[in-house]
Homo-oligomer: A and B are copies of this chain.
Amino acid sequence: MAGKRKVGNLLALAVLSYLSRRPMHPYELGRTLRENGDARSIKYNHGSLYMVVGQLARAGLIVEVGTGRQGQLPERTVYGLTDEGRRELRDWLSELVEQPRHEYPGFVAALSLIGALPPDQVVELLRRRLDRLAERRAEISGLIEEAVGSGLPELFVVEEEYRLTLLEAEIAFVERFVRRITDPETGWGRAWARAHAAWNPDGGGVPG
C-alpha cells in the first residue's frame, strides 16, 4: 500500500505497537484494539488481523514465542516483537507523523462531481449532513470528556481531539458552502441550475 513497506495495512502498526509492550496472541490483540478504542482509528476486522499477523511473521517482524493454553480453549499462538519489528514500528510511525499523505475521503470525491446533482437538492443534502455532523461532534466531545473526567491523560485521546478539530472545520465549510449556493445576490444556484439542466437531458439513458 504505502509503497515499499513489507506490510502496508495499518492494522499491522497497531500489532507492532501492542507487541512492543508484551507478547500476545492474535485474539488478545483484537480485543485490546477494541477495548482501547483504537478500532475507531484503525480499521479492524477479525479476518484481516490474522492475515496481517501472518504477513508480519513471514516478514520477520514478529515471531512465535510459544503457545499457551487456558482452560480447554484451543491453543493460542503467542507472538513477540523482533528487533527488526521494533525498528519498523519506530520508522513507520515516524513517517506517518512527519509526512502528510494524500488521501481520498468520500466527501471530496462527491464534491468533485457535485455538479451532477441540481443545486436545490444539494442544499437539502448538505443541511442533512450538518445534522449528522453535529451528532458526531457531540459524540466525540462526550467521549473525550468522559475519558478526561475519569483521569486518563489527555494524550490518550489526542486522536479524538484531532478528529473533532477537523469535524468543526468541516461544519464551518459546509455552512459556508450552503450560503454560497443560496445567497440571493451572488449565489451559485441560478447558473448551476441552468448548467445542470443543459447537461442532464430528461431521461437520456440508454435502455439497459
Contact = CB atoms under 8 A, between A and B. Distances in A.
Interface in A151-198: 153-156, 158-159, 161-163, 165-166, 168-170, 172-173, 177, 180, 188, 191-192
A113 to B, nearest CB: 5
A41 interface: yes
Interface stretch (A47-55, A69-77, A118-126, A141-149): A118-126
Interface string A93-119: 110111111111111111111111100
A28 interface: no
Interface size class of A (residues with CB under 8 A): 35 or more
A203 B85 CA distance: 12
A20 B107 contact: no
A3 interface: no
B100 A136 contact: yes
Contacts of A96: 106-107, 109-110
B100 A107 contact: yes
Contacts of A161: 173
A65 interface: yes
A61 B60 CA distance: 45
A38 B98 contact: no
B153 A188 contact: yes
A4 interface: no
A7 interface: no
B166 A208 contact: no
Contacts of A116: 17, 20, 89-90, 93
10 contacts: A82-B205, A83-B206, A85-B208, A96-B109, A100-B129, A108-B163, A111-B162, A112-B159, A155-B188, A166-B169
Interface of A: 2, 10, 13-14, 17, 20-21, 23, 38, 40-43, 60-61, 63, 65, 80-86, 89-90, 93-94, 96-117, 121-122, 125-126, 128-129, 132-133, 136, 153-156, 158-159, 161-163, 165-166, 168-170, 172-173, 177, 180, 188, 191-192, 199-200, 203-208
